[in-house]
Amino acid sequence: MAKITFITSDGNSTTVEATSGSVMELGVQNKIKGIDGDCGGVCSCATCHVHVNPAQWDKVGSPLEIENDMLEFDENVSEYSRLSCQIKINEKLDGLVLTVAK
Amino acid sequence: MSIASENMVCVIIGASHAGVNCAFALRREGWKGKIILYDIDKNFPYHRPPLSKTYLTSEEGTEQRLLFPKENYKTDNITLRLGIAVNTIKRKENTISLSDGSSQTYDKLVIATGASPFIPPIQGIDMANNVFPMRTADDAVNIRNTINNSLHKRAVIIGGGYIGLETAASLKKRGAHVTVIEREERVLARVTAAEMSEFFTKLHLRNGVEIHTNKHVISIKRKGNYSVVACDDGTKLNADLIVVGVGITLNTELAQNAGLDIDNGIKVDETTRTNDANIFAIGDCTNHYNPHYKYHLRLESVQNAIEQAKTAAKTICNQKVIYDIIPWFWSDQFDIKLQIIGLSKGYNNIIIRKEGGENSFSIWYFKDDELLAVNAVNFAKAFVLGAKLIKSKQKIDQMKLTDLSIPFKPNSFLA
């Protein structure tokens, strides 16, 4: 079980929990504003962009090349950007805080 | 009555990407009344793109790829009526009649009926064994079961478009012997430049898929538990499975019978409204105007389904919004991801950029000096940058784009 907090662009914070699936799926399930996952989670649309809390970056890890390529020219990219469809939920992510990109 | 009235009813016909996203968007935008979704498909609404990809290569069921989890329909109070067809729309009475004999009134109606696979009139196709299109969850399950239960696993795919090629790649991964038959002189002829067709042809050949082009299938003959597929040049292929991927017919009959304007799809304005003020149409079945490219078109894509769904929901909830997108698409075959941004129709010049590896490149489609579209193969940066440059209409120095010594950065290729 991992509790994950999403902070959306309107400043709201929502903490939800899951044991499996991707962070994108968790966001869609809980209607987190800005997490759409239009392509169904195959790293093709970049509608699930989040910024990882820098202190927790090591928990989540770096993006793969294709994900990096999708993010690099995004206007809202940061060095802690990830596409949440590519983050698989496991116990290590318990307590993770993500800010949904604009 | 306002959208805040609980007595209002919005009926949505079609519960795939467009219909389902419209239902949830309506709630998000403040629709307080009933939302009722109908679909003939009995399966709980699922993502379609994986059908020709991960479903065929795994044992996954569609319940693992639902558009939205089942609980969300409950929490958002969306009524799903699956396995039911809508027979008629009676506009004067604001009512639809259903295949179970009942009827339902509506205040707002959204038509998201999509399309059906076109089955070409090939001699013997109706009598042949194991012929399937690739459009629904049931199609994917039938295809998978046929290959699983077949000793020889010989698959013949009629049509070398995206559906045909994705299915070919997936079946090959699953251990089938796969042959693709395409009547044009190259695969993907309708949608990409010749260079891209050549790349995908080589990719498939390298992976052991046979590709026949310039061939018409003229007959299919049943022979016990397999079929013989005959082509106009005398080629004969034995097939334990035949997949038909030659295009679609639009599901516009319901709208047409109701007297809505049809012209290569249900005609909608920039807010997805039809010629009836209370009826909207979204997704594959619509013909709409694209403000960026300045022409009317029909799009068969997830993005179009979802974005038109959102536009319809906002319009129904009295918000001012215009449907204005740069279309994007993707295709996954073997270890290749193709991403397309923009519409290449009308191009008169292409530039190909190869980035290091053989399987990583992009094709840039221009009409004179205007960038129309970019096809990126295993190079998402070109897809993302292409989107920016198309949208902003910034002028590009085509010489710089061809110069591989210039690093691939957002401003590198500006004129």
Confidence band for B377, pLDDT divided at 50, 70 and 90: very high
Q: Do residue B337 and residue A66 have CB atoms under 8 angstroms apart?
A: yes
For residue B330, give the nearest of A44, A73, A74 by CB distance: A44
Per-residue model confidence (pLDDT) at position B3: 80
Helices assigned H by DSSP within B131-214: 137-148, 162-173, 194-206
Contacts of A33 (CB under 8 A, 6+ apart): A8, A9, A10, A12, A100
Residue B70 has pLDDT above 60, yes or no: yes
> What is the Cα–Cα distance from B303 to B282, expressed in whole angstroms?
11
B24: nearest CA partner in chain A: A31
> What is the Cα–Cα distance from B111 to B13, expressed in whole angstroms?
5
Residues B235, B259, single domain; the answer is no
Query: Has residue B191 been placed in a domain?
Result: yes
Q: Which of A26, A42, A43, A73 to mutate to test the interface with B (most CBs of B within 10 A)?
A: A73
Question: Are B407 and B401 in contact, with CB atoms under 8 Å apart?
Answer: no
Which range marks the domain in which residue B161 is found?
131-246
Q: How many residues does chain B have?
A: 415
Question: Are A72 and A47 in contact, with CB atoms under 8 Å apart?
Answer: no
Residues B370, B294, single domain; the answer is no
For residue B381, give the nearest of A31, A38, A73 by CB distance: A73
CA B208 to chain CA mean position, Å: 26
Q: Please, what is the end-to-end C-alpha distance for chain A in angstroms?
A: 28
ipTM value? 0.93
For residue A69, give the nearest of B72, B328, B379 by CB distance: B379
What is the domain partition of chain A in residue ranges?
2-100
Return the CATH number at B398. 3.30.390.30
Among B246, B261, B289, residue at a domain's last position = B246
Per-residue model confidence (pLDDT) at position A102: 87
Tokens at B231, concatenated: 């082509």
Residue B70, H or E segment: helix B70-75
Question: Are B97 and B258 in contact, with CB atoms under 8 Å apart?
Answer: no
> What is the Cα–Cα distance from B11 to B279, expressed in whole angstroms?
10
Per-residue model confidence (pLDDT) at position B1: 57
Query: Has residue B64 been placed in a domain?
Result: yes
Give chain B's domain count.
3
Question: Are B251 and B124 in contact, with CB atoms under 8 Å apart?
Answer: no
Contacts of B232 (CB under 8 A, 6+ apart): B215, B216, B217, B218
Lowest model confidence (mean pLDDT) among B59-68, B78-87, B280-289: B59-68
Over the stretch A71-84, which tens digit does the pLDDT of each residue have?
Answer: 999 989 999 999 99
A31: nearest CA partner in chain B: B72
Bridge partners of B88, per DSSP, are B97
DSSP code at position B285: G
Query: Has residue B2 been placed in a domain?
Result: no
Question: What is chain B's mean pLDDT, rounded?
Answer: 96
Per-residue model confidence (pLDDT) at position B355: 84
A-B interface: how many C-beta pairs under 8 angstroms? 51
CATH architecture entry for A2-100:
Roll (3.10)
Over the stretch B326-338, which tens digit does the pLDDT of each residue have?
Answer: 999 999 999 999 9
Question: Are B108 and B94 in contact, with CB atoms under 8 Å apart?
Answer: no
Over the stretch A13-71, which tens digit does the pLDDT of each residue have?
Answer: 999 999 999 999 999 999 999 999 999 999 999 999 999 999 999 999 999 989 999 99
| Residues of chain A positioned with their CB less than 8 A from the CB of B60 | none
Q: Do residue B49 and residue A31 have CB atoms under 8 angstroms apart?
A: no
Residue B398 has pLDDT above 60, yes or no: yes
Cβ neighbours of B134 (radius 10 Å):
24
Q: Which of B28, B54, B162, B302 to mutate to test the interface with A (most CBs of A within 10 A)?
A: B302
Residues B238, B254, single domain; the answer is no
Residue A71, H or E segment: helix A65-72
Q: Mean per-residue pLDDT for B60-79?
A: 92
Q: What is the pTM of this model?
A: 0.96
Return the CATH number at B155. 3.50.50.60
Strands B241-244 and B108-111 come out as unpaired
> What is the Cα–Cα distance from B383 to B377, expressed in whole angstroms?
9
> Looking only at Cα atoms, what is the longest distance across chain A?
34
Task: Please tell me the distance in Å from B94's CA to the nearest CA on chain A.
Answer: 32
Contacts of B316 (CB under 8 A, 6+ apart): B3, B10, B26, B29, B31, B108, B110, B280
DSSP 3-state of B89: strand
| Residues of chain A positioned with their CB less than 8 A from the CB of B328 | 45
Among B260, B282, B316, residue at a domain's last position = B316
Query: Has residue B256 been placed in a domain?
Result: yes
Residue A24, H or E segment: helix A23-29
Question: Are A83 and A49 in contact, with CB atoms under 8 Å apart?
Answer: yes
Over the stretch B117-163, which tens digit does the pLDDT of each residue have?
Answer: 999 999 999 999 899 999 999 999 999 999 999 999 999 999 999 99
Query: Has residue B50 been placed in a domain?
Result: yes
B360: nearest CA partner in chain A: A66
Q: Do residue B47 and residue A74 have CB atoms under 8 angstroms apart?
A: no
Residue B39 has pLDDT above 80, yes or no: yes
Q: Mean per-residue pLDDT for B9-34?
A: 98
Among B199, B216, B246, residue at a domain's last position = B246
Q: Do residue B49 and residue A74 have CB atoms under 8 angstroms apart?
A: no
Residues B217, B144, single domain; the answer is yes
Confidence band for B357, pLDDT divided at 50, 70 and 90: confident
